[in-house]
Chain A
Amino acid sequence: MEDKVSKKSFVEGLKEFFRKDLVQYIVKRVLMFFPTLLLISILVFFVIQLPPGDYVSAHIAALATEGELVDADYAASMRADYGLDLPVWQQYLKWVKDIIWTPSDTPYYRLYHSHHNWKYSFAYGRDVWSVVNDRLGLTIGVTAIIMLFQYLVSIPIAVYASTHQYSAGDYISAIIGFLGTAIPNFILAIVLMYLSYKWTGNANVGLFSQEMLKNGVHLYNFGEFLKRMIIPIIVIGTSGTCGIIRSVRAQMLDEVAQQYTLTARAKGVPEGKIIMKYCFRAAINPTVSGLGGVLSSLFSGSTVTALVLNMQIQGPVLYKALLSQDMYLAGAIVMIQAVLVVIGVLLSDIALAFLDPRIRYSGGGR
């Protein structure tokens, strides 16, 4: 009997969730996704075209420093090979077309068996997607662990700090919070590496041992992998953690002072439930809307810290591609990041609509 009741109310709850206004809101937001994508792709392509010269001129200059002279005919034929001699708008159209769909009868498909041609990375001398793909799983894995750490640590601390305002714990979390925000990541990384070297004799630089690079991460060396994760987690984790603590705490304090918190208390609702049901649910809104950026940072990782710690994730690849004018690789990474930002914002908007009924009602979003 008890079971039946709870099941039925669960179905009712789902129905309540997927009310017409919510579905309409989601459809609207999804439709807005495509024009945004188009604009972003145009922007990305022209931005990567902006630096003077192209990969061929950079390549020729590099050869020239080695004393090898290249004649104009060779350069022109190289440009023709890569399609760099076409007008910019034609290059753009071809770029977009190939990414969206490469037919089966093209040489690219025969070579890589993929319908999405992200073009060729000049610097790596192979397909762009294979370069990106190399580090994709790892980047997402590493960053996801760090993100998880951030939210799991910061939100409980923030709730504690706000419900015990001006207590010793509140002050301690505030001090750590400000320090973490103020100290630049790369300095913290260097200091931690130094300490690690001093205490354990191992700087724990790089995410992988040589052995792991050869054989990949498996169960038997997972412990070693986790050990190597400690410094990145602390470095990248703390800065984000502090921001989240400060914003959630401030929001919580706002909510605790709200009239409806008092109403709930006057109804006889226990203090813990008031905090979770009324205050926390409302306080989490800005954090959820901040999740929009998380997807893209999952992909790129933290570039500067990754360089310092020699982490094999996506950030440094983009950095090098930009330096060497490897335009298709840079374009692919920037484009994928931009798309992830848009998807992230879309997802966080939908999450917000779930959380806050007022957003679906107005239908606007942010």
Chain B
Amino acid sequence: MEKENIIEVKDLHVDIKMMEGTLTPVRGVNFEIKKGETLGLVGESGCGKSITCKAILGINDKKCIPSGEIVFRNEDENEVDLLKMDPKGKEIRNVRGKQISMIFQEPMVAFSPMYTIGNQINEATLLHITKDKKKAKEISLEVMRKVGIANVEKRYNQYPHEFSGGMLQRALIAMALVCNPKLLIADEPTTALDVTIQAQILELMKELQKEFDMAILFITHDLGVVAKMCDRVAVMYLGRIVETGDATTIYANPQHPYTRGLMGSVHKIGGRKDERLFSIEGTVPLAMNLPKQCGFYDRCDARIEGLCDKAEPELVEIEKGHKIACFACQNAACQAHRKEVEERLKREESTKEPVEGGKKRGKR
């Protein structure tokens, strides 16, 4: 693990065993986040973003079985594999909320209606930092002030239903930051908020990131938000990362057909009024019994018949830090990968055919 990385996710799979078969919402995800950096994880609904980030904290439903490696550099600068920890054990609980914390999509339901905001913000402090309630309260008030909640003394004793949505999201951020974590996972933190509040919350998160010097894993399907927030972007499709690189590179030069489709479906200022927004046809397929082909094959406009429906492309680095998984890309590195796969397919076919033929003959 490189020294500046705070977390490395290596070949993460998540399986869900169901009556109908095994669902695989995450199929070999790789990414790393450097200290103090923001990585945007982009993709449409159902592509496995949320499950990936919940797997980091080990808070997925118990039906979800993760495999692979999630190496985290903990507070003592030791590298630990989060997946090896017992999801109910003390070890991972010491990571949750203290070293890695999470902000959820809908602030309105992320707080229990039964307890005051103060009580719920305090909880992490009391678990991880101090047993002294007075001190914990002071810490909470301080963080609440930092996230821009006015009149904190009064707000501290109020219940979630007495807060507006934007204020609740601020409180949720305060709750996540109260232990000064090194990595913050933000799962679509602004999706449930209206646009003006969205901008405020994003601005706030940026400021706090600098102040607390933490890395952020920012999950969203909103490319505008990504442009504003992220240093690097990973585009996810059907449980895999299909393109990753610096945010500026990906915006200037998207390579994967899916990324290009996503970019095309965003409003542009100065675009023609009667221009229709581009939309990608179809939906993400169900991640069960997937055929051995590129996940985007059915919806892709650059697909290569006979190749894309036979093998799934791996991530290939086409320039420094910019990786893409696509056979159709004209870049030299991608073409080399394409050639390699084509040859492998040919070899497999030539060894396979007699066997299959033999079977058929046997049946006759």
Name A's B-contacting residues (CB within 8 A): 5-6, 8-9, 16, 258-260, 262-271, 277-278, 281-282, 355-358, 361
Q: Which residues of B contact A357 (CB under 8 A)?
A: 113-114, 116, 159, 161
- Verify B161–A278 contact, CB threshold 8 A: no
A361 proximity list for chain B (CB < 8 A): 159, 161-162
B114, A268: Cβ atoms closer than 8 Å: no
Closest to B90 in A: A270
State the CA gap A361–B93 with chains docked (Å). Answer: 34
Assembled-state Cα–Cα distance A341/B93 (Å): 46
For B96, give its contact among A6, A16, A266, A277 (CB under 8 Å).
Answer: A266
Q: A5-B134, A361-B159 are in contact. Are A266 and B97 (CB under 8 A)?
A: yes
B286 cross-chain contacts in A, Cβ below 8 A: none
**B124: Cβ under 8 A from any A Cβ:** yes
With a CB–CB cut-off of 8 A, which chain B residues contact A9? 133-134
Contact A358 B109 (CB under 8 A): no
Q: Which of B243-276 contact A (CB under 8 A)?
A: none
A residues in contact with B124, CB < 8 Å: 267-268
A281, B115: Cα distance in complex, Å: 10
A268 to B97, Cβ gap below 8 A? yes
B88 within 8 A of A: yes
Please, which residue of chain A has its CB at the minimum distance from the CB of B127? A268
B104 touching A268, Cβ below 8 Å? no
Nearest CB of B to A223, in Å: 43
How far apart sit A16 and B132, CA to CA, in the bound complex (Å)? 19
- Taking a contact as CB atoms under 8 Å apart, the answer to whether B106 and A267 are in contact is no
- What mask results when residues 156 to 176 of chain B are scored 1 for a CB within 8 Å of chain A, else 0? 010101100000000010010
Q: Which of B94, B113, B172 contacts A358 (CB 8 A)?
A: B113
In angstroms, how far is the closest chain A Cβ from the Cβ of B189? 13
Q: B102: CB under 8 A from chain A?
A: yes
Please state if A267 and B123 are interface contacts (CB–CB under 8 Å). Answer: yes
Min distance, Cβ B318 to any Cβ of chain A, angstroms: 36
Q: Are A267 and B159 in contact (CB under 8 A)?
A: no
A8 to B110, CA, bound (A): 29
Which 3 pairs show the lowest CB-CB distances between chains A and B? A268-B97, A267-B97, A268-B96
Which B residues from 91 to 123 make CB contacts under 8 A with A?
A: 93-98, 101-102, 104, 106, 109-116, 123
A305 to chain B, nearest CB (A): 37
Within 8 A of A (CB), among B54-110: 57, 59, 88, 93-98, 101-102, 104, 106, 109-110
When distances are taken between beta carbons in the complex, the residues of chain A under 8 Å from B157 are 16
Residue count of chain B within 8 Å CB distance of chain A? 34
In the complex, which residues of chain A have a beta carbon less than 8 angstroms from the beta carbon of B96?
265-268
B104 and A259 within 8 A (CB): yes
Q: How many contacts A-B (CB < 8 Å)?
A: 84
B299 an interface residue at 8 Å Cβ cutoff? Answer: no
Indicate if the CB atoms of B95 and A260 lie closer than 8 Å: no
Chain A residue at smallest Cβ distance from B108: A259
**A358 CA to B159 CA, complexed, in Å:** 8
CA distance A213 to B124 in the complex (A): 60
In the assembled complex, the Cα of A9 lies from the Cα of B116 at a distance in Å of 14
Q: A16-B116, A361-B162 are in contact. Are A260 and B127 (CB under 8 A)?
A: no
Offer 20 A-B interface pairs, CB within 8 angstroms, sorted by A. Answer: A5-B132, A5-B134, A9-B134, A258-B109, A260-B111, A263-B102, A263-B104, A263-B112, A263-B172, A263-B175, A265-B57, A266-B57, A266-B97, A267-B97, A268-B95, A268-B124, A268-B128, A357-B114, A357-B116, A361-B159
CB distance B114 to A281 under 8 Å? Answer: yes
Query: Once the chains bind, are B110 and A263 in contact (CB under 8 Å)?
Result: yes
Q: Taking beta carbons and an 8 Å cutoff, which residues of B are in contact with A?
A: 57, 59, 88, 93-98, 101-102, 104, 106, 109-116, 123-124, 127-128, 132-134, 157, 159, 161-162, 172, 175
Assess whether A259 is in contact with B106, with CB atoms less than 8 Å apart.
Answer: yes
Q: Which of B94, B109, B116 contacts A268 (CB 8 A)?
A: B94
Quick one: given A9-B133, A262-B104, A358-B159, are A267 and B175 in contact (CB under 8 Å)?
yes
Partner of A271, one of B88, B95, B114, B175: B88
User: Which chain A positions have C-beta within 8 A of B59?
Assistant: 262, 265-266
Is the Cβ of A259 less than 8 Å from the Cβ of B110?
yes
Q: Please name the residue on chain A nearest to B128 by beta carbon.
A: A268
Q: How far is the CA of A310 from the CA of B128 in the complex (A)?
A: 60
Cross-chain contact B88 with A260 (CB below 8 angstroms) = no
Determine the chain B residues whose CB is within 8 A of the CB of A266 once the complex forms: 57, 59, 96-97, 101-102, 104
| Cα–Cα, bound, A270→B127 (Å) | 9
Q: In whole angstroms, what is the CA distance A282 to B160 when docked? A: 15
Q: Are B123 and A260 in contact (CB under 8 A)?
A: no
In the complex formed, the residue of A with least CB distance to B113 is A358
Contact A5/B57 with A268-B128, A358-B159 known, Cβ cut-off 8 Å: no
Among B95, B97, B111, residue most surrounded by chain A Cβ atoms (within 10 Å): B97
Asked whether, in the complex, the Cβ of B134 is within 8 Å of the Cβ of A356, the reply is no
With both chains docked as a complex, state the minimum distance between the C-beta of A265 and any C-beta of chain B, in angstroms.
Answer: 5
Instruction: Pick the contact of A259: B109, B116, B132, B161 (CB < 8 A).
Output: B109
Q: Contact: A356 with B133, CB < 8 Å?
A: no
B112 near A282 with CB under 8 A, answer yes
**CB atoms of A268 and B98 under 8 A apart:** yes
A164 shortest CB reach to chain B, Å? 11
Residue of chain A at shortest CB distance from B111: A260
Give bound CA distance, A266 to B59, whole Å.
7
Closest Cβ neighbor of A271 among chain B residues: B88
CB distance from B337 to the nearest CB of A (A): 38
Complex interface: chain B residues within 8 A of A282 (CB): 112-114
B104 touches A355 (CB 8 A): no
- Shortest C-beta distance, B127 to chain A (Å), equals 5
Q: Bound state CA distance, A66 and B246, in angstroms?
A: 106
Q: How far is the CA of A265 from the CA of B97 in the complex (A)?
A: 9
Q: How far is the CA of A355 from the CA of B93 in the complex (A)?
A: 28
A262 to B96, CA, bound (A): 11
Q: Report if A269-B101 is in contact (Cβ < 8 Å); known contacts: A9-B133, A282-B114, A357-B114.
A: no
Residues of B within 8 A of A355 (CB): 114
Q: Across the two chains, which residue of chain B brings its CB closest to A15?
A: B157
CB distance from A232 to the nearest CB of B (A): 36
Report the minimum CB–CB distance from A16 to chain B (whole Å): 6
Bound-state CA distance A205–B104 (Å) is 60
Q: In the complex, what residue of chain B is closest to A258 when comparing beta carbons?
A: B109
